[in-house]
Amino acid sequence: MFSRRNRRPPSPELAAARECLDRGDVPGALRELRQVSSAPLGEVADVVARAAGAAGFDDLRKAATALAARPDRARPLYDYGYACVERGVSYLAIPALREALRLAPGSAGLLRELVSAYEDEGRHRDAVDALLAHEDGLADWPDRYLLVFNAVLAGDLELARRQHARLPDPAEDVWIGARDRQNRVLERASVVGRVSPLDHSDLRGWQYVMGGTVLGTLSPFGFDAGMAGRYAYLQDSHERCLYGLLRLKSVVAAAGVRPRSVSLLPDRGSRILGLAAAEVLGLPAEPFEAGREDTVVIAYDLDGTARADGGPEVIGQLFERAPGQVLHEHASCWTDPPAVTADSVTLLHQSAVAPWGAGLRQGADGEVERGESDRRPEAVIAAEIVGADPAPEAGDGETPPDPAEKLTDFVSAVAGTWLRGDRARLRSSGPVTSSRFL
């Protein structure tokens, strides 16, 4: 036991988190903990135990309590880190797992859990560095595979190719799908590298490398102010929907794809946009059917599809593609990506309100208020989309020019690698970073 006079004073970095907990504000406490950089792990764990108890996360509360009691032991550090990752607060896991790995440098399990935490936080360069620091002890599957995976997402294709060349075929079937996806990623990188710079501002190029997604448009706002072609908050419009569908039409033509129908997904937003797409593409519209070939499946946003009646089953059916099937998503969330990755996406956003959603407007008193959603028939709204003005927004003038010819030239160059493999979820924003807003 320490005497009272020998105890260290509480870290001032944790004061704001403690104050949030005193008010019952657990989300606020977690936001404050994200800013903590140098507080002792035992003190951080004590605050986390309080937050976890208030949230009803008993596993994390127990692990944090154990770490607060013994912050110098690898096992409590690992258990706490594991629980943090499982509960979606990987940023809290990283310091503990780093310390645990320092205490037990030969532990493959610790290394993999640390890499997993780095991946959750988008810190792919840190994941690469951790794996390279233990390269002599790496197993090919999964460790060297993870090294290649994170090198790609960090934008280091030279390292990724070098390490990929050292990977033998997996001995266990469980890794075959991962190997095939990684082969496709590096093949796409080779093709894209001939027509696009693949630097840290090449959003379209990297979206294609990572997930096989053709990105139709770049946000015309804040390109050099942290957004790099992504939207933060978006109140969408009929005009933007039509512009995205016309870009989709150009993409399909440039790739030499010949669809015979438009498939309508079960949620209202996707049905509205799908009816408009059928008019723009000159194709019949049919309810979605699993396995239908030579069709364009239209989603306004795939998260909305997943929430619809029957949506989870449909999302599962979209994971494996049918021949000639193109999955198009208009508005895709880049901070919380959907469960399947679309082949074509109009735009990337952090938060979006559909044109028919309850958006913000200026009230009669001049105050901003939430409007009412548009409950008119789907066909009526679809007709308004088709009749809208498709001219692109002028923006702030800082986004690089992105005429239709630039997009179609890109698609023509990569067409041989498009529409291949499964549609595994893309969890990372990759080498092109954008500002995030809570």
Residues in the chain: 438
pLDDT value of residue 359: 78
Q: What is the pLDDT of residue 1?
A: 33
Structure-block tokens of residue 374: 């548009």
Asked if 271 contacts 378 with a C-beta cutoff of 8 angstroms, the reply is yes
pLDDT at 13: 84
Closest CA to 408 of 209, 252, 260: 252
3-state helix, strand, coil in the chain (%, to 5): 50, 10, 40
User: What is residue 370's predicted lDDT score, i.e. its pLDDT?
Assistant: 78
Angle formed by the axes of helices 157-164 and 145-153, nearest 10°: 160
- The number of beta carbons lying within 10 Å of the beta carbon of residue 400 is 11
Q: What is the model's pLDDT at position 340? A: 98
User: One digit per residue, pLDDT tens: the chain, 438 residues?
Assistant: 333 444 566 788 899 999 999 999 999 999 999 999 889 999 999 999 999 999 999 999 999 999 999 999 999 999 999 999 999 999 999 999 999 999 999 999 999 999 999 999 999 999 999 999 999 999 999 999 999 999 999 999 999 999 999 999 999 999 999 999 999 999 999 999 999 999 999 999 999 999 999 999 999 999 999 999 999 999 999 999 999 999 999 999 999 999 999 999 999 999 999 999 999 999 999 999 999 999 999 999 999 999 999 999 999 999 999 999 999 999 999 999 999 999 999 999 999 999 999 876 655 566 667 789 999 999 999 999 999 999 998 899 999 999 999 999 999 999 999 999 999 999 999 999 999 886
- Packing angle, helices 145-153 and 176-192, rounded to 10: 30
> What per-residue confidence (pLDDT) applies to 7?
54
d(CA 109, CA 311): 36
d(CA 306, CA 221) in angstroms, rounded, equals: 29
Domains belonging to the chain, first-starting first, are 4-121 (1.25.40.10), 199-417 (3.40.50.2020)
pLDDT at 2: 36
